A and B are shown apart, each in its own frame.
Chain A
Amino acid sequence: MKTLADLKKIREQAQKNMSLRESNNRIKIVIGMGTSGIAMGAREVMKTFLNELANRKIDDVLVTQTGEKGLSSMEPVVDIIEEGKPTITYGLVNSEKAKRIVSEHIVNGKVIEEFVVEAK
């Protein structure tokens, strides 16, 4: 069983890791979680991002949500926000694409043009 004591250990380790870094959120991954996003599988996409980042021990990327953004036909929609770079919006994202976005874009910094709906 998971206990609050387990959480304390995680906290201590996390504090050590965080103190060694300048910025704690190098990249923000924002998943559109409006009604149409949810219906098209946005929750599974978010879970895939969380799992992929955990498996790769990437702890300076934030995964978060937003509401509908008026791109319903492109749901699930994911924004990759990185300081000093244009925000990339990927559309029709599924688990497979999410995995590629992590390995190619998040890890290697290469935008996957074929999935892009918007860049600004």
Chain B
Amino acid sequence: MQDLSLHLMDIIENSITAEATFIDVVIERNEVDNYLKFIITDNGYGMDAKDIDKAVNPFYTSKAQRKIKVGLGIPLFKQNAEFCNGFFILESKKNIGTKITVQFELNNIDRMPLGNIGDTMLTSIIGHPNVNFRFELICKNKNVKMSKFVVNTEEIKNELGDVPINYPDVVQYLDELINEGIKKTYMEEH
């Protein structure tokens, strides 16, 4: 993965595979305490302790049809965080859901760029119209006080009634809404 937004996309796809119907993503960029943190929580089918150990093993995949067992999504994200004075915590309960917390030292030279977080949000929402997403962006700047942006697809779907969330004009609306939110919270990196 070239950037963190793509890693996030991969984690979201894991939640989808686990049949989650609700995925909550919090991204916090804290310049005061020098960290960039992702918290991804889903209500998918979860894992027991044995599977959690396997999930961080690069030579394990949940895909039964694979002859060569490689599942690099989680191990690489974990390794990237640990290389940057950060950490990766995977908590999960069978039939309840999974929570992943990943933190990076914000100004670490080895930290991957955030990347296009807006496209990850948009394509996840549009690609999974039956799943509800809540994305929360929090930014704590040294000179600006805390700013926050939340997009909750449940609210949007209520407003849309029988019009699907992947209807083209809605897609454009969401794209603009998300990018306004990213600007407002100074989430973008330059």
Contact residues of A with B, CB < 8 Å?
1-2, 4, 6-8, 10-11, 13-15, 18, 24, 31, 33-35, 38-39, 43-44, 46-47, 50, 53-54, 57-59, 62-65, 67-68, 70
Q: Is the CB of B10 within 8 A of A50?
A: no
- How far, in whole Å, are A58 and B72 apart by their CA atoms in the complex? 37
Q: Is A10 within 8 A of B163, CB to CB?
A: yes
> Is A65 in contact with B127, judged by CB distance below 8 angstroms?
yes
- Residue of B whose beta carbon sits closest to that of A3: B177
Nearest Cβ on chain B to A30's Cβ, whole angstroms: 9
Further 9 A-B residue pairs, CB within 8 A, beyond A2-B180, A10-B170: A2-B177, A4-B156, A33-B13, A38-B10, A46-B127, A50-B168, A59-B167, A64-B166, A65-B127
Given A38-B9, A43-B119, A44-B119: A7 in contact with B127 (beta carbons within 8 A): no
Q: Given contacts A1-B180, A34-B13, A64-B129, are A47 and B122 in contact (CB under 8 A)?
A: yes
State the Cβ distance, B38 to closest chain A Cβ, in Å.
15
Q: Are B123 and A43 in contact (CB under 8 A)?
A: yes
Give the docked Cα–Cα distance between A59 and B172 (Å): 12
Q: Are B123 and A54 in contact, with the CB atoms below 8 A?
A: no
Contact assessment for B168 and A53 in the assembled complex, using a CB-CB cutoff below 8 Å: yes
Are the C-beta atoms of A54 and B119 separated by less than 8 Å? no
Q: Chain B residues with Cβ under 8 A from A10's Cβ?
A: 160, 163, 167, 169-170, 173
Provide a sorted-by-A list of 20 A–B residue pairs whose CB atoms are within 8 angstroms: A2-B173, A2-B176, A7-B160, A10-B167, A11-B163, A14-B167, A18-B163, A31-B127, A35-B10, A35-B71, A38-B9, A46-B127, A47-B123, A50-B122, A50-B126, A54-B168, A62-B166, A64-B127, A64-B128, A64-B166
Which partner residue on chain A sits nearest B76 by CB separation?
A: A35
B77 CB to nearest A CB, Å:
10
- Interfacial chain B residues near A46, Cβ < 8 Å: 123, 126-127
Given contacts A7-B160, A35-B71, contact A63 B167 (CB under 8 A): no
Q: A35-B10, A38-B1, A47-B119 are in contact. Are A11 and B129 (CB under 8 A)?
A: no
